[in-house]
Amino acid sequence: MVSLSFGKDGTYSMIIVEYNKCAGCRTCETVCSAANHKIKIGGVDYPGLGNPNLSNIRVYSYNPDTFVPNVCQFCEDSPCVNACPSPIDKKTGKKALSKDEVLGNIVYNPSVCMHCGNCARACKEKSAGVIIFDEQERRPTGMCTLCGGDPQCVKYCPYGALHFVKGKVKRKFYKMKPDKIAEILAREWYKGKGGKVQ
């Protein structure tokens, strides 16, 4: 799977998952969480605790052992942005969800958010279902920030399963849900002679 984004200069940023290398350890979740939920002490930002439940990348695990990190697809048609009914923020000139002009990631602006959950529904219907609407916080979660251009999930993946690249790559699992991806991979990996699966 590849996450693809279009920058203003025409370059593409993407996070590629090499599924056969993913060991399902969820380190990516913890470093994403730490980097995007910093703790401020004496005016200085430190990486947070690494609670995986605050992560924007989520690893789903299956039996037989197949692991699917699910991360923003950087959809070419941005269904989440299209579905966002919020007014334009006068300061930024953007809606609650918009595409970053340099990196191409989805940027969230809570000040104009209508807390409707349309973005999450659109992501679920038209893409991989990465955006999840947090009912308690009344806001969408899961939008990849690309950590300002240095994605920590890629940097810390112990197994080299995640890549941050620029350029155009064919995406076999583009917009596909984790369940479906796992089903395809498991069929590919765990079959006996004649395709027998027990």
Does position 26 interact with other proteins (CB under 8 A)? The reply is yes
What x-and-dash track marks residues 133-172 binding other proteins by CB under 8 A? -----------------------x-xx-------------
Does position 43 interact with other proteins (CB under 8 A)? The reply is no
Three-state secondary structure readout of the chain? CECCEECCCCCEEEEEECHHHCCCCCHHHHHHHHHHCCEEECCEEECCCCCHHHCCCEEEEECCCEEEEECCCCCCCCHHHHHCCCCCCCCCCCCCEEECCCCCCEEECHHHCCCCCHHHHHHHHHCCCCCEEECCCCEEECCCCHHHHCCHHHHHCCCCCEEEEECCCCCCCCCCCHHHHHHHHHHHHCCCHHHCCC
Nearer to other proteins, 107 or 186 (CB): 186
- Please identify which residue in 36, 47, 89, 175 interacts with other proteins, judged by CB under 8 A: 47
List the structure tokens of 124. 């679920």
Nearest approach, Cβ of residue 178 and other proteins (Å): 8
Does position 63 interact with other proteins (CB under 8 A)? The reply is yes
Does position 58 interact with other proteins (CB under 8 A)? The reply is yes
Nearest approach, Cβ of residue 110 and other proteins (Å): 20
| Count of residues of this chain found to bind other proteins when the rule CB under 8 A is applied | 39
Does position 31 interact with other proteins (CB under 8 A)? The reply is yes
- Catalog residues that contact other proteins under the rule CB under 8 A: 20, 23-27, 30-31, 34, 39, 41, 46-53, 58, 60-61, 63-65, 67, 156, 158-159, 178, 189-194, 196-198
